[in-house]
Amino acid sequence: MTSATTHSPATTGALAKTPAPRPKKVRGREERSTLASVALHGTLIVASLVAAFPVAWIVFISLGPKTAWQSPGEVLGNLSLDNYVKVLTETDFPHWFGASVIVAGGTTVLGVFLAATAGYAVSRMRFPGHRQLMWSFLVTQMFPMAVLIVPLYELLARFDLIDNYLGLILTYATTAVPFCAWMMKGYFDTIPHEIDEAGRVDGLTPFGTFWRLIVPLAKPGLAVTAFYSFLTAWGEVAYASQFMGADHYTLAVGIRTFATESRADWAMMTAASVIILVPATLVFLLVQRNLVSGLTAGGTKS
Amino acid sequence: MITALRHSWQKYWYAWAMVAPVVIVLAVLVLYPLGYGFYLSLTNANEANVARDIGAFHAPATYKMVGLDNYWSILSGADGDFYPRLTWTIVWTVSCVALHIAIGMGLALLLNRKMRAKLLYRALLILPWAVPAFVGVFAWRLMLNSQYGVFNEMITAVGLPAQNWLATPFAQKVAVIMVNVWIGVPFNMVALLGGLQSIPKELYEASEMDGASPWQRFVNVTLPGLRPVTHTVVLLGCIWTFNMFAVIYLLLGQNTTGEADILVTFAFRKAFTGVSDYSGAATYGIVILALLLAFSTFYRRRQLKTEQA
């Protein structure tokens, strides 16, 4: 045990090269004893299990019989896709799924467009009002949905946008865009200004520079923005449950019809949840490489 | 005056053109409802006296202005709900944000090292973020079920007493914090991980040359280098957690005594259960907004001060 902690393979690093080794040895950044490695991987494995377990659990329960949630032990002996077949054929689930795709897709497109244009303007141009704009993006995050929901309902009703996909898309865009614009501004800040100048020298308008030069370079940032907008719309419950009628239920609202006040049909709920998870996970896998760089640019530079 | 206007228009029109879509959308869909909400908070509007249609018969609104009465009844403690809800909201926000940052930071530090299977760990750890909140909350509700839930089985297996997680007020509070931490850690972890990667390597090399211990390196290099990220993450985290609706509302559903309600969920219940109290809910909303505005102004000012120091 003790020999394991002192004999680290990486001691040939910077410290070993110093002519006279210090009496008290200080461990460098990239050196790690076997024990520390075990601790590191152990911690990460436990954390990963905690992170993944709830998801794994609903996948597990969804594969069992109707009563699986009461007796999880029976699942392994009775694996079947019955719950999925039932959800897809005997309920309105496909209908809700379509509604959610329209709403989340619309929110993503609108959100990315609004966030990118605003983020670019704030990042590149010093115009009167740009400080206030950034501040108001932050303030928008503070508006409690409970105070907005009643007036918003009346406003949308006036434009005939209640029980309408466009109404919900616009509402979600207001939730997602402020944070996204903040992120995009940070990301644009990391793109050198020389590129804009080169574009201008070549005779591009500010819009042309933005569209032809900057947008292609900002893909990681745009990917994170898209991910964030998509998830905002895909998982929102409160607005959707108040604004949409039974014909236009989104998944988040529709799935609640499986659970009545007294009891929940967990077999259906878990199977439906797993199907809902799939698109979110796909979008996530597509952007996860960009997540760290795209998000942080916004964090460090704001 | 007019020439000055024309001048600034010529100079900035494309900047304004690019922010116009956002400004218009936000002004219409946020500012207007906010103003209307503020107006409602000065009235006694509820389900019984707002304009409504009963069949073909249209009943006009009969509510009237009551001035600041709603605010007074809340802030003087006369309604009996505000201060208990506020206390719990603060406890909830502080514990959630502290745990988010602490766990997120720990995991980010671990992930920032060279090791095998790093990408796998990272993907698994970010997973709760990719899960739509309502699905995550359903999964936890299933696991926390007092009679059949797997969570009680797991904690009794390690010798802890089983709890009626979704029923007794104290257990409810622990449960909502736990679920919110599970949902919120990935975002903080990713943001802090990016912050760690943006700290110049030379700083670490220099401190290593000076013989700094790992702890000293963490306190003197890592923490100051992360400050811009932690400032943003803490501010956003406080705002988001203060207004977190989905976790509490969906986890506890209707079978709650109201003890675990934070201000936002309480205001929502006011507006949409029983006799809808629109003016009361609007007043709560405005008070929440005022609290958050005061907090973030104070926070930004302190942040500027530390940056100058």
Stretch among A63-67, A176-180, B171-175, B276-280 having the lowest mean pLDDT: A63-67
Nearest residue, CB atoms, A284 vs list B36, B130, B263: B130
Q: In this structure, are residues B89 and B242 in contact, taking their beta carbons and an 8 Å threshold?
A: yes
The pair phi, psi for residue B57, each rounded to 5°, is -85, 125
The answer on A124 and A44 residing in a single domain is no
> Which residue blocks in A202-247 are alpha helix, DSSP H?
206-208, 215-217, 219-235, 238-243
The answer on A107 and A55 residing in a single domain is no
When comparing pLDDT for B300 and B309, which is higher?
Answer: B300
Reported as a single tens digit per residue, the pLDDT across A174-221 is 889 988 988 888 888 888 888 888 888 888 888 888 888 888 888 888
Query: For residue B55, what pLDDT is reported?
Result: 64
With an 8 Å Cβ cutoff, are B121 and A252 in contact?
Answer: no
Tell me the two tokens of residue B129: 């973020």
CA angle A261, A238, A98 (to 5 degrees): 95
Query: For residue A28, what pLDDT is reported?
Result: 55
Instruction: Decide: residue A71, CB within 10 A, 0-12 exposed, 13-18 middle, 19+ buried.
Output: exposed
Strand extents, DSSP E, chain B: 52-54, 57-59
Residue among A168, A43, A91 nearest B109 (CA): A43
In a 13 Å sphere around the CA of B56, the CA atoms on its Cβ side amount to 0
Rounded to an integer, what distance in angstroms lies between the CA atom of residue A297 and that of residue B117? 25
Highest mean pLDDT out of A29-33, B73-77, B97-101: B97-101
**Banded model confidence at residue A297, pLDDT cuts 50, 70, 90:** low
ipTM for the whole complex? 0.80
Give the CATH number, domain containing residue A134.
1.10.3720.10
Average pLDDT over residues A140-167: 83
Q: What is the 3-state secondary structure (H, E, C) of A5-47?
A: HHCCHHHHCHHHHCCCCCCCCCCCCCCCCHHHHHHHHHHHHHH
The answer on A289 and A149 residing in a single domain is yes
- pLDDT beyond 80 at A63: yes
**Banded model confidence at residue A114, pLDDT cuts 50, 70, 90:** very high
Min Cα–Cα distance to chain A from B256, Å: 12
* DSSP classification of residue A202: T
**10 Å Cβ neighbour count for A59?**
15
B267 at interface of A, judged by CB pairs closer than 8 A: yes
Provide, as residue numbers in chain A, all residues whose Cβ is less than 8 Å from the Cβ of B147.
70
Q: In this structure, are residues A121 and A206 in contact, taking their beta carbons and an 8 Å threshold?
A: no
Query: For residue B101, what pLDDT is reported?
Result: 94
With an 8 Å Cβ cutoff, are A117 and B245 in contact?
Answer: no
- pLDDT beyond 80 at A94: yes
- pLDDT beyond 80 at B213: yes
Rounded to an integer, what distance in angstroms lies between the CA atom of residue A27 and that of residue B89? 43
Average pLDDT over residues B274-303: 87
Residues in Cβ contact with A208 at an 8 Å cutoff, skipping those fewer than 6 apart: A199
Average pLDDT over residues A259-283: 81
Reported as a single tens digit per residue, the pLDDT across B29-61 is 888 888 888 888 888 888 777 776 666 677 677
Stretch among A43-47, A97-101, B269-273, B293-297 having the lowest mean pLDDT: B269-273
Average pLDDT over residues B179-207: 89
**Banded model confidence at residue A298, pLDDT cuts 50, 70, 90:** very low
Rounded to an integer, what distance in angstroms lies between the CA atom of residue B127 and that of residue B124? 5
Choosing among A17, A26, A44, which should be mutated to test the B contact, i.e. which has the most B CBs within 10 A?
A44
The rounded mean pLDDT for chain B is: 84
Residue A15 within any structural domain of the chain = yes
**Banded model confidence at residue A109, pLDDT cuts 50, 70, 90:** very high
For a pLDDT cut of 70, what percent of chain B falls above it? 95
- The three-class DSSP label of residue B115 is coil
With an 8 Å Cβ cutoff, are A142 and B292 in contact?
Answer: yes
The answer on A58 and A148 residing in a single domain is no
> Which residue blocks in chain A are alpha helix, DSSP H?
2-6, 14-17, 34-62, 82-90, 93-124, 130-140, 145-158, 165-189, 193-201, 206-208, 215-217, 219-235, 238-243, 251-254, 266-301
How many beta-carbon pairs below 8 A join chains A and B?
A: 300
Q: Which domain holds residue A126?
A: 86-301
Residue A56 within any structural domain of the chain = yes
Reported as a single tens digit per residue, the pLDDT across A232-258 is 898 888 888 888 887 888 888 888 888
Tell me the two tokens of residue B213: 């211990």
Tell me the two tokens of residue A25: 């040895």
- Distances A181 to A128, A211, A267, B229 between C-alpha atoms, Å: 18, 16, 40, 17
Tell me the two tokens of residue A137: 């993006």
Query: For residue B31, what pLDDT is reported?
Result: 85
- The three-class DSSP label of residue B206 is helix
- The three-class DSSP label of residue B24 is helix
Residue A80 within any structural domain of the chain = no
- pLDDT beyond 90 at A111: yes
For a pLDDT cut of 90, what percent of chain A falls above it? 13
Nearest residue, CB atoms, A40 vs list B33, B110, B296: B110
With an 8 Å Cβ cutoff, are B140 and A284 in contact?
Answer: no
Query: For residue B207, what pLDDT is reported?
Result: 86
Query: For residue A86, what pLDDT is reported?
Result: 84
**Banded model confidence at residue B191, pLDDT cuts 50, 70, 90:** confident
Min Cα–Cα distance to chain B from A64, Å: 14
With an 8 Å Cβ cutoff, are B267 and A146 in contact?
Answer: yes
- pLDDT beyond 90 at B106: yes
- CATH 1.10.3720.10 domain span(s) along chain B: 81-276
With an 8 Å Cβ cutoff, are A288 and B243 in contact?
Answer: no
Tell me the two tokens of residue B12: 């900035």
Rounded to an integer, what distance in angstroms lies between the CA atom of residue B133 and that of residue A169? 18
Average pLDDT over residues A108-130: 87
Question: B residues 47-106 near A, CB within 8 Å?
Answer: none
- pLDDT beyond 80 at B125: yes
Domain count, chain A: 2
Query: For residue A11, what pLDDT is reported?
Result: 40
- Return the CATH class of domain B81-276: mainly alpha
- The three-class DSSP label of residue B58 is strand
Residue A73 within any structural domain of the chain = no
* DSSP classification of residue A256: G
Query: For residue A7, what pLDDT is reported?
Result: 44
The answer on A98 and A195 residing in a single domain is yes
Rounded to an integer, what distance in angstroms lies between the CA atom of residue A215 and that of residue A91? 42
Rounded to an integer, what distance in angstroms lies between the CA atom of residue B92 and that of residue B90? 5
Residues in Cβ contact with A69 at an 8 Å cutoff, skipping those fewer than 6 apart: A61, A266, A267, A270, B142, B145, B148
Residue A129 within any structural domain of the chain = yes
The rounded mean pLDDT for chain A is: 80
Residues in Cβ contact with B219 at an 8 Å cutoff, skipping those fewer than 6 apart: none
Q: In this structure, are residues B90 and B242 in contact, taking their beta carbons and an 8 Å threshold?
A: no
Residue among A215, A57, A86, A102 nearest B149 (CA): A57
Average pLDDT over residues B193-222: 86
Instruction: Decide: residue B75, CB within 10 A, 0-12 exposed, 13-18 middle, 19+ buried.
Output: middle
Rounded to an integer, what distance in angstroms lies between the CA atom of residue B297 and that of residue B309? 18
Residue A71 within any structural domain of the chain = no
The answer on A58 and A103 residing in a single domain is no
The answer on A190 and A58 residing in a single domain is no
Nearest residue, CB atoms, B34 vs list A115, A148, A181: A148
Query: For residue A44, what pLDDT is reported?
Result: 92
Residue A75 within any structural domain of the chain = no
Q: In this structure, are residues B128 and B136 in contact, taking their beta carbons and an 8 Å threshold?
A: yes
Residue A121 within any structural domain of the chain = yes
Reported as a single tens digit per residue, the pLDDT across B130-168 is 888 888 988 898 888 877 778 887 888 887 877 777 778
Rounded to an integer, what distance in angstroms lies between the CA atom of residue B130 and that of residue A231? 7
Query: For residue B123, what pLDDT is reported?
Result: 87
* DSSP classification of residue B273: S
Residue among A259, A249, A285, A294 nearest A101 (CA): A249
> Which residue blocks in B68-117 are alpha helix, DSSP H?
69-75, 82-111
Query: For residue B238, what pLDDT is reported?
Result: 93
- pLDDT beyond 90 at B95: yes
Residue type at position B85: R
In terms of phi and psi (left: phi > 0; alpha: psi -120 to 50; beta: otherwise), the region of B142 is: alpha
- Distances A136 to A130, A140, A141, A142, B264 between C-alpha atoms, Å: 10, 6, 9, 10, 21
Query: For residue B160, what pLDDT is reported?
Result: 80
Query: For residue A25, what pLDDT is reported?
Result: 53
Average pLDDT over residues A43-72: 85
Query: For residue B185, what pLDDT is reported?
Result: 94
**Banded model confidence at residue A130, pLDDT cuts 50, 70, 90:** confident
When comparing pLDDT for B5 and A46, which is higher?
Answer: A46
